[in-house]
Structure 1
Amino acid sequence: MAEKVVEVTTHMGSGWKVTAQVREHLLVIDQPSASNEGANPLETFLFSLGGCISAIAKMVARERNITIRQFDVHVRAVMNSAGLLGQPSDDPVGFKEIAINASIDADLTDAEKNEFLDTVCNRCPVHDNLLRPSLVTHQVQH
């Protein structure tokens, strides 16, 4: 199968709001203390994780002919904000831990729900990037 390329270009003006036009959707990231027009980057990151897990759950359920009446994902992350504020810290700048708790309304036993969630998380690209980070490069565009 050919590689798939996913691209997003963001724009930030004089305030804290960051926008991106993704297909026909205008996405907004903002800071609560600013104009508060969107979730902050950390909340958006966790939403991406929960959203990806949900989409993969729908795919796996379809493949296995499982009817999922409802699938809710609660993502909780803990971080020390010292690093992002430019203060010294032995902790990572990002999250120290992320916990995923899925509520699955389907005709499955608890063991089957656990196996289903394991399968889903193992197929989720966002989840995989957290376990096995991708090479990330950065440069100033000239």
Structure 2
Amino acid sequence: MTDKIYRVQTEMTAGWRVSAQVGNHQMVIDQATAGDTGPNPLDTFLFSLAGCVSTIAKMVAREQGIAFRGIKVAVEGVLNPAALAGKPSEDPVGFKRIDIRADIDADLDDEQKLAFLELVCRRCPVHHNLCHPCLIEHRLG
């Protein structure tokens, strides 16, 4: 199978608003203390994780023939605000912990639902990149 390349290009001009054309969609991130015209980057990050887990759950259920009626995924991140603000901190910049809670509406008992969720998380690219970071290169435009 050939690798698929994803590209996103953002633009920030005045204020804190960042806009991007993502595929066929226009997306905006912003800061609540500024224009608040969209979610902030950290909210968007957690939404990406929850959305990916939800999507992969539907895929896995379809593949396994599971009667799957839906899923609700709650993601909560504990942030280190000191490092984010540029202050000395022994904790990493960003989230120190991320918790995922899933309410799975399917014909499975709790043990099966937990095994299903573990499989889903192993197949979720966003989850995987959080647990096993990929190479990121930085360079000028």
- Give the shorter-chain TM-score range: over 0.9
1:121 is paired with a residue whose SS is: helix
User: Aligned-pair distance for 1:38?
Assistant: 0.6
Aligned to 2:89, the other structure's residue is in SS state coil
> Do residues 96 (structure 1) and 96 (structure 2) align?
yes
2:25 corresponds in structure 1 to: 25
Alignment-derived partner of residue 136 in structure 1: 136
Q: Which residue of 2 aligns with 1:63?
A: 63
Q: Give the whole-Å Cα distance in 1 for the aligned partners of 2:92 and 2:23.
A: 33
User: What is the identity, as a one-letter code, of the residue corresponding to 1:123?
Assistant: R
Q: What is the aligned length?
A: 141
Whichever residue aligns with residue 126 of structure 1, its letter is V
Identity of aligned residues (%): 56
Alignment RMSD:
0.8
Counterpart of 1:120 in structure 2 is 120
**How far 1:96 sits from its partner (Å)?**
0.6
Deviation at 1:122, TM superposition (A): 0.2
SS in 2 for 1:76: strand
Measured against aligned partners, the alpha-carbon deviations of 1:27-80 in whole angstroms (never above 9, x if no partner) come to 110000111111100000000000000110010011011122220000011021
* Counterparts of 2:26 and 2:3, CA distance in 1: 26
Post-superposition Cα deviations, 1:99-136, rounded to whole Å, max 9, x if no partner, equal: 00000011101111001101100000000001100111
Distance 1:56 1:98 in 2: 18
Structure 1 unaligned spans of 5+: none
In the alignment, the residues of structure 2 paired with residue 67 and residue 54 of structure 1 have an alpha-carbon distance, to the nearest angstrom, of: 15
Structure 2 gaps, min length 5? none
d(CA) in 2 for partners of 1:51, 1:11: 24
Q: Aligned-pair distance for 1:94?
A: 1.3
Measure, in 2, the Cα distance between the counterparts of 1:106 and 1:2: 33
Which has the larger displacement, 22-31 or 117-126? 22-31
Q: CA deviation at 1:4?
A: 1.0
Q: Which residue of 1 aligns with 2:105?
A: 105
Output the TM-score relative to the length of structure 1. Answer: 0.96
